[in-house]
Amino acid sequence: MFEKNLVEVLNMSQKREIVKRSLKMYHRSRKKRKGEILSELSQITGYSRKYLTYLVNIGKKEIKSRGGRVILRADVLKLETHKRGRKKKYPEKLTKYLLKIWKLASLISSKHLWYFIRENGEWIFEEEYFGEISEEEKSLIMQMSSSTIERLLSKKKKQIRSVNKYRKRRVVKNHIKKQIEIESFHDRRVEKVGYVEIDLVHHSGGSGRGDFCYTLTFVDVKSDWVAMRALRNKARIWTYKALEDIFSSLPFVPYHIHSDNGSEFINAHIMNFMRENNLKQTRSRAYKKNDNALVEIKNWTMVRAYLGYRRYSTDEEYEIIKRLLSLIELKHNLFIPTMKIKRREYTGSKYRKIYETKTPYTRLMESEEVSEKKKSELTQLKKSINLYKLSREIAMLLNKLDKAYERKRASKSNFGLNIELNSIKFNKSDGGAATNVYNKL
């Protein structure tokens, strides 16, 4: 060891020289020995250990001045370099397989996708879609956590997903509202399967004029089981028939119906329907979408995400939407998991929510309100459906709907063109001009 008064004898250049001569020994030593060397240098030079660490790290770099700037140029051999940290367990090439699974699962969140992979892992890789994937890669995908899935898919999600805002709907007032009880979200008590939220989604393309199609969304709060029906327009008879059709096909018995303040639900026909089926009817507060929150979520994930915001008004479009909604309903009810809050934890000032992730099918199979006969029917239904074929059929119908929409637009534009051409007067003086206009069009 060196004497402390040696610090007062050495000048700055001598101290730097001592540090420079110690570099070779420092870089070849193990961690424990490096600490001892830094301690000795600190006693000799009087420098702090933090500053000495900086000096030994840049000691093999050449310092040059260029144009008033200080440039460090490394002088390190390739053999002396190494990659820090542990090696990656999940390579980037797994992203393309995850992307396929994510698209198959209708672009759900990473936590939902984690559950989807584990529940459907027995058959999800059997399709020719994943023919080139190895057993090791399958095993790695099955081991992934939701955080890893989110990290690998984060770039793709930014490219594919887009955020859309809902348009506000006008609330229609009538005297029947006074007879229907208001229920807010914080007053709600859902203890069993059968409490249902309903809502109507318009396909008007931003214009409320004329007739256009609607989608009636019907969702059970406890299980997330969804039923959807296409309506030709907002007439009460279509809402009534859609509800009758839904009730005849449900695997459980509803006991409570909650809706917003739309005139399609707040009318004498629907009120009589509720009374005939011994159903309690409640409604949301005005301009409070959170009172009907679950069905508003489904309006995006199961209607807008597929059909968008276009105007669908023809019989051809209606028939396609009618078939499409039934397939989307099957896919999400039987295969796509959803999240429910299981409990809330308070630790001091921190608040944490614990979620339960299951498919609506699984929740109904675990429910005591669903009969054994209905459970066996649901089991047979799920076994009879191939998710890959179902997804392809949905894609084909969406493509067919796009073509029907484009044909409708083309026919409207041609109709407008014919009107414009018929309004032109072909006189001798302006006949050539009219012909030129026609040719340009």
Is 422 inside a domain boundary?
A: yes
Among candidate residues 440, 434, 394, 321, the one with its CA nearest the CA of residue 105: 394
Q: Please name the residue that has the structure tokens 């890669």.
A: 137
Structure tokens at 153: 């898919």
Residue type, 248: S
Number of domains in the chain: 4
Statement to judge: residues 128 and 156 lie in one domain = yes
CATH number of domain containing 340: 3.30.420.10
Tell me: do 363 and 236 sit in the same domain: yes
Q: Is residue 402 part of a domain?
A: no
Residue 404 lies in a domain: no
On whether the CB atoms of residues 254 and 279 are closer than 8 A, the answer is: yes
* Res 208: pLDDT: 83
Do 100 and 71 belong together in one domain? no
Helix (H, G, I), strand (E, B) or coil at 190: coil
329 and 428 inside one domain: no
Mark whether 218 and 366 lie in a shared domain: yes
Note whether residue 393 is domain-resident: no
218 falls within a domain: yes
Burial of 8 (0-12, 13-18, 19+ CB in 10 A): exposed
Q: What is the pLDDT of residues 234-256, one digit of tens each?
A: 888 888 899 999 999 999 999 99
Assess if residue 396 is contained within a domain. Answer: no
Q: What is the CA radius of gyration of the chain?
A: 34
Q: Which of 144, 145, 142 is nearest to 130 (CA)?
A: 142
Answer for the pair 19, 52: CB distance below 8 angstroms, yes or no: yes
Q: Are residues 108 and 234 both part of a single domain?
A: no
How long is the chain?
A: 441
Q: Which residues neighbour 119 within 8 Å (Cβ) at sequence distance 6 or greater?
A: 337, 359, 362
What is d(CA 215, CA 199) in angstroms, rounded to the nearest whole number? 8
SS3 265: coil
CA-wise closest residue to 363 among 174, 128, 194:
194
Statement to judge: residues 304 and 433 lie in one domain: no
Domain limits at 297? 175-385
The tally of CA atoms less than 13 A away on the side-chain side of residue 402 is 8
Same domain? For 181 and 248 the reply is yes
Task: Let me know whether 180 and 156 are in one domain.
Answer: no
Q: Which of 385, 401, 424 is the last residue of a domain?
A: 385
Residue by residue, pLDDT tens for the chain (441 residues) are 444 466 677 888 888 888 888 888 888 888 889 889 999 888 888 888 888 888 888 766 555 555 555 554 444 344 444 555 677 788 888 888 888 888 888 888 889 999 998 888 777 877 666 667 788 888 888 889 999 999 888 887 777 655 433 334 444 445 777 788 888 888 888 889 999 999 999 999 888 888 999 999 999 999 999 999 999 988 888 888 999 999 999 999 999 999 998 888 888 888 888 888 899 999 998 888 888 889 999 999 999 999 999 999 999 999 999 999 999 999 999 999 999 888 888 888 888 888 999 999 999 999 999 999 999 999 999 999 999 999 999 999 999 999 999 999 888 766 554 444 344 333 333 333 333 322 332
Q: pLDDT tens digit string along 34-78?
A: 889 999 888 888 888 888 888 888 766 555 555 555 554 444 344
**Quick one: pLDDT at residue 359?**
94
DSSP 416: H
Residues 332 and 270 occupy one common structural domain: yes
**Residue 318: predicted pLDDT:** 95
